[in-house]
């Protein structure tokens, strides 16, 4: 395996030259991607409808083509799901990424083209390793195996000749046969539908392996690793995998989990944490410097053209969008993408902030529909994650997951936020935890602070510390275990709060 590590790392490291090219010419790279997308879609039904043949500039594109949500684009996607081709993209679509959707209950089916697989998702995976080896030149990653916690595939409900599933499952299914040699578990186990059965087999197969890396969502990784520790009787994962090097994480913010991973699961400085921003719609960003926690390099040559909606434009019927050369630091933007799978000016639902303009680095700040603004406080996930992290540090706690929503005013009572928090280690002092949570939110969010002033509009948050396994049982009840399914962190309604609390009371 040492020879394999030397050979693979040699070829991986050579890819840095391509990354450095778009770092030197970011605007030119994005303009090239834009023109390639327009050229490839000129004679699709969508391209003919909006006369792509006469689009010469980005301004033409922005004036002619509407910004679309999934619901607005779905009539076209539905036709592709049913087997029509050349509707949104020129090449045939044989795969669909089924996104769980954390802000509405309906699944989304995202077309996955050959180009998006090769030039976006696979290139992102290779560049992820390129940047890791660039930061850790002496890494021994390929002397062991990489553990991937992925999702499942099912026949497309509209056309059984094609398949749909989590993007991780689509990627796994299309990997070359030799890839199973450097990964675990085998693809037939990784693609199992039943999460409990998959976890049992992963524990049996992966525990004795020499695992050096994990790629997965923190939530489900914690569930798997804690079950491994319980079965093995070991104190931490390095007693099981002494050569473990890196956890590559995405989908949810890692900061609230960092203490759990660094102090309990992998208590050693030998372990690196690398963040990525990939979704059903594409692979967008990778942490390029390990010292820049939470910041990721925006990948500009993956067949994705980016636009950005300033926060003040979010609710407008025809919002103004900015291109890369127009954005500013530390402002919230809703992300809009046009892709090599036929998503055109698609509002993905995520919000980002730029932390650097040379190179272009971002951090994910939340969701356009995933916030609490019941009282004008505009609390986004970035705020909640920061407050949770500070509260854990102050009270010596570690969290597994959380969700929060409003308690509305009524009958003379004031409003407040209500939180449900599951901890792997509960706070030494719950009152201190709550005060720190509230105080941090007040410090970092002036709108929240104004509503909390002398309890005039909002009271101090109400917090329920629930037993281990609560969110797992709730997600199981909803049929959303494993894969890219995520606990909804914030909601402007009480839908999730009330459902979880009802379940907790029924189990009590």
Question: What is the model's pTM?
Answer: 0.78
Distance of CA 464 to the CA centre of its chain: 26
Task: Say if residue 330's pLDDT is above 70.
Answer: yes
pLDDT tens figures, 189-212: 888 888 888 889 999 999 999 999
Of 377, 411, 405, the C-alpha closest to 488 is 405
Of the spans 68-72, 99-103, 123-127, 335-339, which averages the highest pLDDT? 335-339
User: How many angstroms separate the CA atoms of 223 and 487, rounded?
Assistant: 13
**Predicted pLDDT at 103:** 34
**Predicted pLDDT at 2:** 61
Residue 238 DSSP SS3? helix
**Predicted pLDDT at 104:** 35
Residues written for the chain: 508
- Mean pLDDT check: name the lowest of 25-39, 108-122, 339-353, 471-485: 471-485
pLDDT tens figures, 380-407: 788 899 999 999 999 999 999 999 998 8
Handedness of CA 220, 222, 225, 229 (dihedral sign): negative
Q: 178 forms bridges with which residues in the sheet?
A: none
pLDDT tens figures, 11-30: 666 788 899 999 999 999 99
User: Which residue has 């080896």 as its token pair?
Assistant: 133
Domains of the chain: 2-97+296-367 (no CATH), 116-153+163-286 (3.40.50), 371-507 (3.30.300)
For residue 491, what are its two tokens?
């909601």
User: Which residue has 């569930």 as its token pair?
Assistant: 223
> Using CB atoms within 10 A of its CB, is residue 500 exposed (0-12), middle (13-18) or buried (19+)?
buried
- H helix or E strand, kind and range, residue 438: helix 430-444
Task: Say if residue 451's pLDDT is above 90.
Answer: no
- Mean pLDDT check: name the lowest of 4-8, 184-188, 246-250, 288-292: 4-8
pLDDT tens figures, 79-112: 999 999 999 999 999 999 987 543 333 468 999 9
Q: Is 168 left (phi over 0), alpha (psi -120 to 50) or beta?
A: alpha
**Predicted pLDDT at 497:** 94
């Amino acid at each position: 395996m040492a020879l394999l590590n030397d050979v693979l790392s040699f070829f991986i490291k050579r890819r840095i030259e391509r990354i450095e090219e778009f770092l030197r010419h970011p605007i030119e790279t994005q303009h090239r991607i834009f023109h390639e997308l327009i050229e490839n879609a000129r004679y699709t039904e969508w391209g003919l409808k909006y006369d792509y043949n006469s689009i010469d500039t980005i301004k033409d594109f922005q004036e002619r083509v509407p910004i679309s949500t999934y619901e607005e684009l779905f009539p076209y996607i539905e036709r592709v799901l049913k087997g029509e081709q050349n509707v949104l993209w020129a090449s045939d679509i044989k795969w669909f990424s089924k996104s769980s959707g954390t802000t509405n209950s309906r699944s989304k089916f995202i077309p996955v083209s050959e180009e998006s697989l090769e030039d976006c998702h696979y290139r992102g995976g290779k560049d992820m390793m390129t940047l890791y080896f660039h930061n850790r030149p002496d890494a021994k990653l390929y002397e062991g195996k990489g553990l991937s916690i992925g999702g499942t595939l099912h026949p497309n409900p509209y056309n059984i000749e094609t398949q749909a599933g989590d993007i991780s499952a689509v990627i796994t299914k299309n990997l070359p046969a030799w890839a199973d040699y450097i990964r675990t578990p085998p693809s037939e186990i990784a693609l199992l539908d039943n999460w409990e059965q998959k976890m049992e087999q992963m524990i049996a197969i992966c525990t004795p392996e020499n695992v050096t890396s994990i790629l997965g969502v923190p939530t489900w990784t914690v569930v798997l690793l804690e079950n491994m520790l319980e079965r093995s009787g070991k104190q931490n994962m390095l007693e099981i995998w002494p050569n473990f090097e890196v956890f590559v994480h995405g989908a949810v913010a890692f900061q609230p989990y960092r203490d759990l991973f660094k102090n309990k699961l992998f208590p050693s400085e030998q372990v690196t944490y690398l963040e990525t921003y990939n979704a059903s719609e594409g692979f967008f960003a990778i942490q390029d410097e390990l010292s820049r926690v939470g910041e990721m390099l925006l990948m500009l040559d993956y067949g994705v053209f980016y636009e950005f909606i300033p926060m003040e434009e979010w609710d407008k019927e025809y919002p103004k969008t900015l291109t890369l050369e127009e954005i500013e630091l530390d402002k919230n933007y809703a992300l809009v993408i046009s892709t090599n799978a036929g998503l055109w000016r698609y509002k993905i639902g995520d919000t980002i902030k730029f932390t650097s303009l040379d190179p272009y680095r971002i951090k994910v700040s939340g969701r356009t529909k995933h916030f609490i603004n019941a009282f004008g406080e505009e609390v986004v996930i970035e705020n909640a994650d920061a407050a949770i992290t500070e509260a854990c540090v102050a009270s010596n706690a570690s969290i597994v997951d959380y969700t929060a929503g409003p308690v509305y005013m009524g009958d003379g009572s004031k409003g407040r936020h209500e939180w449900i928090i599951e901890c792997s280690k509960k706070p030494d002092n719950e009152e201190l935890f709550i005060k720190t949570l509230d105080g941090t939110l007040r410090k970092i969010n002036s709108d929240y602070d104004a509503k909390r002033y002398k309890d005039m509009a909002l009271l101090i948050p109400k917090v329920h510390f629930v037993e281990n396994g609560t969110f797992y049982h709730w997600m199981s009840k909803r049929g959303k275990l494993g894969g890219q399914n995520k606990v909804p962190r914030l909601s402007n309604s009480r839908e999730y709060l009330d459902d979880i609390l009802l379940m907790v009371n029924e189990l009590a």
